[in-house]
Amino acid sequence: MSALNLTQNGDSSSPPPISAADDTRSALIFIGTGCSSAVPSAMCLIQPSESPCPVCSQALSIPPEKNPNYRCNTSLLIDYCRSDGKHSYVLIDAGKTFREQVLRWFTLYKIPRVDSIVLTHEHADAVLGLDDIRAIQPYSATNNIDPTPIYLTQFAMESLAIKFPYLVQKKMKEVQEVRRVAQLDWRIIEENYEKPFVASGLQFVPLPVMHGEDYICLGFLFGEKCRVAYISDVSRFIPSSEYVISKGGAGQLDLLILDTLYKNGSHNTHFCLPQTLDAVKRICPKRALLIGMTHEFDHHKDNKFLREWSQREGIPVQLAHDGLRVPTDL
Q: Which chain residues interact with Zn ion by CB under 5 A?
A: 41, 44, 53, 56, 123, 233, 295
Q: How far is the CB of 270 from Zn ion (least distance, A)?
A: 8
Least distance to Zn ion, CB of residue 36, Å? 7
26/41 with CB nearer Zn ion: 41
Amino acid at 9: N
d(CA 127, CA 156): 10
CB of 282 to Zn ion, least distance (A): 22
Sign of the alpha-carbon torsion through 95, 101, 103, 107? negative
3-state secondary structure of 301: helix
For the bound state, the minimum distance from the C-beta of residue 275 to Zn ion, rounded and expressed in Å, comes to 16
Nearest to 178 by CA among 165, 163, 164, 166: 166
DSSP, collapsed to helix, strand or coil, labels residue 70 as coil
If the CB atoms of residues 56 and 279 are measured against Zn ion, the closer one turns out to be 56
Neighbouring C-beta atoms of residue 13, cutoff 10 Å: 10
If the CB atoms of residues 91 and 326 are measured against Zn ion, the closer one turns out to be 91
- CA 215/CA 270 separation, integer angstroms: 11
Instruction: Give 247 or 267: the residue with its C-beta nearer to Zn ion.
Output: 267
* Shortest Cβ 219–Zn ion spacing (Å): 12
Nearest approach in angstroms of CB 144 to Zn ion is 34
| Complex with Zn ion: residue 83 or 264, whichever CB lies closer | 264
Helix ranges (DSSP H) in the chain: 42-46, 54-57, 98-101, 107-108, 124-127, 154-163, 165-168, 239-245, 273-283, 299-313
Nearer to Zn ion by C-beta: 36 or 200? 36
Distance (Å, rounded) from C-alpha 217 to C-alpha 182? 24
Cβ proximity of 72 and 38 under 8 Å: yes
